[in-house]
Structure 1
Amino acid sequence: MKKNIFKFIGLFIALLGFNSLLMAQNTILKQDVSIFPKPKEGYKQMVIEVPHSNQDVNKKIELSIGKMMEVDKCNLHILGGQLEKKPLQGWGYDYYEFSSKGQAASTLMGCPDNEKVWKFVSAAPKLVDYNGRLPIVVYVPEGYDVQFRIFKAEDDVYRASEVKQKK
């Protein structure tokens, strides 16, 4: 009985290792980022790699670029900045560069306790195309970070209703 359990556990570990190998191979097959420019002084290169699937056309990536800031608890905060899409000359790929002066705006509600917290404050999110075959390369100033979410469209398609106009 115990031998069967050990065989089962051994088989399970072997399958888990094989699955990990397949996932690692998927990551290895990504495009080499050395073809992208080196970050300019004061910037760093951030890379997003997402898994490839047959449904890539139904997905989008939402980029949120920002930094940790000490802000009050009761207002909404947004970082000033601009994300620019740039072509990678000679390759047909694009990359993104974020620029900011580091200034944040906020709503102006009065905070009764004026308590401060550290929070990720980002510029307006930007939707970009999902491509599981290529990395998304983003250059941001030192001290900034890139967060992302994956959005997927449902298979259901709906039709809008027509409003009949009176003549």
Structure 2
Amino acid sequence: MGTFMFRTSLGLIATALCGAVHAATLEKVAPYPKAESGFTRQAIHLPAQGKEEDLRVEILAGKPLTVDCNRQRLGGTLEEKNLEGWGYPFYRLEKVSGPASTLMACPDGKSKQDFVPVIGDGFMLRYNSKLPIVLYVPQGVEVRYRVWSASDKIEKAIAE
């Protein structure tokens, strides 16, 4: 039991230090503005990869909501902004609308907690490990992401 508690404590300390390092690192990269009232600033630090030109980062901003069997979604647009004097991009999700839902009759009437993403324009970004992806989103919005990669297999179109 003592070893488990010690490892857990070390894990929590390491997590806290990583968060502090990333916050300090973000400030060392460029003077990204602090989040305005009602917004949070979130950053994604990507590891270096070979052939980064073949990779994309999908931003999954959303909220955990209680849902039923219907498909749920939120609406919004992720806008790219420019850090003046630096030329570095950052992204802003100004507002989130919804939720919108299909209207199927759910036979079981059960509901569950699920992550409901914002669907809209601007959420697929270029992979660049040299700069953090800095996002400003309304409070209460979580930012998740996934990395997409291109297949090595390239097909040829047929002239018709």
Structure label with greater radius of gyration: 1
Q: What's the offset of the Cα at 1:140? A: 0.9
Runs (5+) with no aligned partner, structure 2: 1-17
The within-5 A match list for 1:37-48 is 37-48=33-44
Q: In the alignment, what sits opposite 1:132? A: 129
- Quick one: which of 77, 80, 99 aligns to 1:104? 99
- Cα deviation 1:40-98 (Å, max 9, x = unaligned): 101111110111133111110001100111111x1111112221111111111111111
Q: What's the offset of the Cα at 1:152? A: 1.1
Does residue 157 of structure 2 align to residue 157 of structure 1?
Answer: no
Q: In the alignment, what sits opposite 1:57? A: 53
Distance 1:64 1:101, change over 3 A: closer
State the percentage of identical aligned residues. Answer: 37
The within-5 A match list for 1:11-160 is 32=28, 35-72=31-68, 74-124=69-119, 126-160=123-157
CA distance in 1, matches of 2:36, 2:50: 36
Q: Is the Cα–Cα contact under 8 Å of residues 74 and 99 in structure 2 kept in the other structure?
A: yes
Aligned AA for 2:159? Answer: E
Q: What's the offset of the Cα at 1:99? A: 2.4
> Given the two structures, how large is their TM-score scaled by the length of structure 2?
0.77
Runs (5+) with no aligned partner, structure 1: 1-23
Equivalenced residue count is 136
CA distance in 1, matches of 2:136, 2:41: 5
Aligned AA for 1:112? Answer: P
CA distance in 2, matches of 1:34, 1:160: 44
